[in-house]
């Protein structure tokens, strides 16, 4: 789902100028950036409540990994249920305000030319995981440029699993450079074409949001054609 941010008051950033600058500098130099406690606590709670309602009402759909993949193969790579943000709910609008502020800052600092953002809620059931992958491929029309992940888990414990592993680039098959617990309010940015990542199997339901800053609009009106 692609959204135009509605006209109105300037979108409220998740955090102040210095932290935003550090985050963007990390993204530019390392290809990824992690911020703990990035989303305000009340926003994390209201987004989590929203995701739980969507789940309980059966509004989440099994995520696909790409066109032409069989269901069986998809399950072995990615086991998640998702719902695209529509901006209809106030918590979604507040979140999209923060990502819009971030988009403008990334463009200002890196001349990135990002012009839209799309995001979905994601719920991994117990046992769910997501195998190592890139979010975009440089040999396809450039669309996803910067990936954003934000987690919504209330009280993540060691042993719950579900950590996100990050590698430095497509050729790095060594140990991950970072292994991040999906704690509520923490945020991760990654360059979509170059930073491989994976979600380890989670022992408990795991809640979050994944989104992409893009340079191209959806192709032929079909949103997210390759995923
Ligand atoms: C994705 C992804 C990470 C996460 O949806 O592409 O990598 O923590 N998500 O859910
Ligand atoms: Mn990903």
Domain hosting 155: range is 17-214
pTM of the model: 0.89
Question: 133 C-alpha vs ligand 2 centroid, how far in Å?
Answer: 6
pLDDT for res 139:
75
Question: 17 C-alpha vs ligand 2 centroid, how far in Å?
Answer: 27
Q: Write out pLDDT tens, residues 159-178.
A: 999 999 999 999 999 999 99
Report yes or no on 205 lying in a domain.
yes
Report yes or no on 71 lying in a domain.
yes
Q: Write out pLDDT tens, residues 118-146.
A: 999 999 999 999 999 999 877 777 789 99
Question: 198 C-alpha vs ligand 2 centroid, how far in Å?
Answer: 7
Report yes or no on 111 lying in a domain.
yes
> 90-110 vs 17-30: helix axis angle to the nearest 10?
60
Q: pLDDT at residue 30 above 90?
A: yes
Average confidence (pLDDT) over 90-110: 95
Contact 27, 193 (CB under 8 A): no
Residue 96: which CATH number? 2.60.120.620
Distance CA 67, CA 46 (A): 33
Report yes or no on 11 lying in a domain.
no
Report yes or no on 220 lying in a domain.
no
Confidence of residue 103 (pLDDT cuts 50, 70, 90): very high
CB of 199 closer than 6 angstroms to any ligand 1 atom = yes
Atom number in ligand 1 closest to CA 122: 10
Report yes or no on 12 lying in a domain.
no
Q: Which of 206, 199, 223, 205 is nearest to 77 (CA)?
A: 199
pLDDT for res 42:
96
Question: 194 C-alpha vs ligand 1 centroid, how far in Å?
Answer: 15
Total number of domains constituting the chain: 1
Report yes or no on 6 lying in a domain.
no
**Which H helix or E strand runs over 98?**
helix 90-110
pLDDT for res 44:
98
Q: Write out pLDDT tens, residues 171-210.
A: 999 999 999 999 999 999 999 999 999 999 999 999 999 9
**Residue nearest ligand 1's atom 2 by CA:** 210
Of the listed ligands, the closest to the CA of 164 is: 1
Report yes or no on 7 lying in a domain.
no
């Amino acid at each position: 789902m692609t959204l135009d941010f509605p006209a109105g008051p300037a979108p409220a950033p998740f955090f102040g100028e210095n932290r935003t600058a550090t985050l963007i500098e990390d993204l530019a130099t390392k290809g990824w950036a992690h911020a703990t406690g990035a989303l305000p606590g009340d926003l994390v709670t209201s987004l989590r409540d929203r995701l739980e309602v969507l789940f309980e009402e059966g509004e989440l759909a099994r995520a696909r990994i790409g066109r032409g993949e069989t269901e069986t193969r998809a399950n072995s790579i990615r086991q998640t249920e998702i719902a695209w943000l529509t901006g209809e709910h106030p918590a979604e609008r507040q979140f999209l305000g923060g990502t819009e502020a971030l988009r403008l800052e990334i463009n200002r600092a890196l001349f990135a030319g990002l012009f839209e953002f799309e995001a979905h809620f994601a719920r991994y059931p117990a046992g769910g995981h997501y195998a190592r992958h890139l979010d975009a491929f440089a040999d396809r029309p450039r669309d996803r440029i910067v990936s954003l992940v934000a987690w919504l888990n209330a009280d993540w414990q060691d042993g719950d699993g579900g950590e996100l592993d990050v590698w430095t680039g497509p050729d790095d098959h060594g140990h991950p450079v970072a292994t991040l617990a999906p704690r509520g309010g923490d945020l991760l940015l990654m360059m979509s074409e170059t930073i491989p990542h994976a979600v380890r199997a989670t022992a408990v339901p795991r809640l979050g949001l994944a989104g992409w800053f893009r340079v191209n609009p959806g192709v032929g009106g079909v949103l997210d054609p390759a995923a």
